[in-house]
Amino acid sequence: MKIAVVGTGYVGLVTGTCFAETGNEVICVDIDAKKVERMRQGDVPIYEPDLDVLFARNQKQGRLKFTTDLQSAVDHAEIIFLALPTPPGDDGQADLKYILGVAKDLSGMISKYTVVVDKSTVPVGTGERVHAALAEKLDTDLFDVVSNPEFLREGVAVDDFLKPDRVVIGTESEKAEEVMRRLYEPFVRSGNPIIFMDIRSAEMTKYAANSYLATRITFMNEIANLCEQTGADVDAVRKGMGSDTRIGKRFLFPGVGYGGSCFPKDVQALAHTAGQYDYNFKILDAVMDVNTRQRFRIADKIEAYFGDDLKGKTVSLWGLAFKPNTDDIREAPALYTIDRLLAAGANVRAFDPEAMDNVKELYGDKVTFCGDQYEALQGADCLGIMTEWSVFRTPSFDRMKEAMAAPIIFDGRNLYDLRRMVEAGFYYDSIGRSKVG
């Protein structure tokens, strides 16, 4: 099938590349000419495992192309995906100016029947607004609007796209339903469902799913904080809970709060939608409040140990991305930790396998960025672990002790066994477990 993807951010680039991988002819459109030229030269602008391999293969074989010319992409396409940013405003409402702006542009460009798909995460009712924008200059027989929310986890997004748990399609058009069914059938050959519903329900499904997962994480963070007060062990509690088939094991790991491009803004947006309908969504308000506090959990622990004045102290941070296997630092807990440490007068040395360039743009020489995790420990009075990269899971504790001024670890991801840390001779303070050392 002939596809155009408007927007080459995280969702757009994964979407376009994976559709090309199943034999479709894909043109990706972006207004950033320098970025388009980079991609034409084979440079993938984001880090996502396995994306570079698919990107190179499909570009080489001519199925994946890039342009700044929206009209040429429209002329090519029978399906147009809108994968544009929907950043939150000051009130938490998703900003739809990019999506509605492109929809207005498309209204003057489409000349044959085309399915226009909202791939971005958008509030309930956006499909109708996109339809109205397209209908300004178009006969409604020439297009259908579809909602097709993405459920990609950064770090495993390629696998999620190629082998989805489910595909959600929102449409009231039988013609558009058939087009979308043909497009997605190669991805669900193992029997996972394509679920068709109305557009508003599809839009709500995305927000409901992400907000529920954010709530699970937040609930476990509250349990972990209570475990620290009561002397319980959150790892044992998590295993006891997760073995209940009604609950399940996933998204029950405590830590320093959720971040990234989806959960924070989606929870805010759903809460804003509730407010528009005069509904007091108390759970979401609590989730946002708890997550805001949880982001500072490691900074709290460091200041509780050393005092509020950290002048003269050197703090090493392992991990800057909001989760492993991505370079995404949007709403990353590490950034809130850095701000707090710098404000308290600490020197910060940091290492992350992929995200350091992005963080350098924010902090410059205020933070010392290091070549590996052991270099980051040189002279450190303590270590804060912010992201659970695999390279941090089995370090040499002897090398760590040699490099550090003091063997003190504050672990925001619960990477290490408590008994092992006692044996290694560290003071070790993690999330929802007893302090040791």
Q: How are strands ordered across the β-sheet holding 347-351?
A: 368-369, 347-351, 314-318, 382-385, 408-411, 427-429
Dihedral (Cα; 168, 170, 176, 179), 10-degree rounding: -10
The strand pair at 2-6 and 25-29 is best described as parallel
Task: For residue 117, give the nearest of 12, 21, 208 by alpha carbon.
Answer: 12
The answer to whether 66 and 27 are in contact (CB under 8 A) is: yes
Is 262 designated active site? yes
Residues paired with 28 in a beta bridge: 5, 66
Cβ neighbours of residue 191 closer than 8 Å, sequence gap 6 or more: none
Eight-class DSSP state of 436:
B
Cβ contact 203:127 at 8 Å:
yes
State the alpha helices, DSSP H only, in 77-198. 97-107, 126-134, 157-162, 174-184
- At 178, which amino acid appears? E
Euclidean distance between CA atoms 283 and 293, whole angstroms: 16
**What three-state secondary structure class fits 225?**
helix
- Residues 227, 262, 370, 382: which is the catalytic one? 262
Q: Which of 323, 266, 258 is nearest to 149 (CA)?
A: 266
Assess contact for 67 and 40: CB atoms under 8 A: no
Q: In angstroms, rounded to a whole number, what is the distance separating the alpha carbons of residues 130 and 110?
A: 14
DSSP string, 385-414: E-S--GGGTS--HHHHHHHSSS-EEEESS-
Q: Identity (one letter) of the amino acid at 72? A: S
CB contact set of 37 (below 8 Å; sequence gap of 6+): none
Query: 215 to each of 207, 251, 264, 296, 330, how far by Cα in Å?
Result: 12, 9, 11, 18, 19
The CA–CA distances, whole Å, from 412 to 46, 268, 314, 332, 376 equal 25, 24, 18, 12, 17
**Cβ distance 81 to 117 under 8 Å?**
yes
Q: Which residues are catalytic?
A: 262
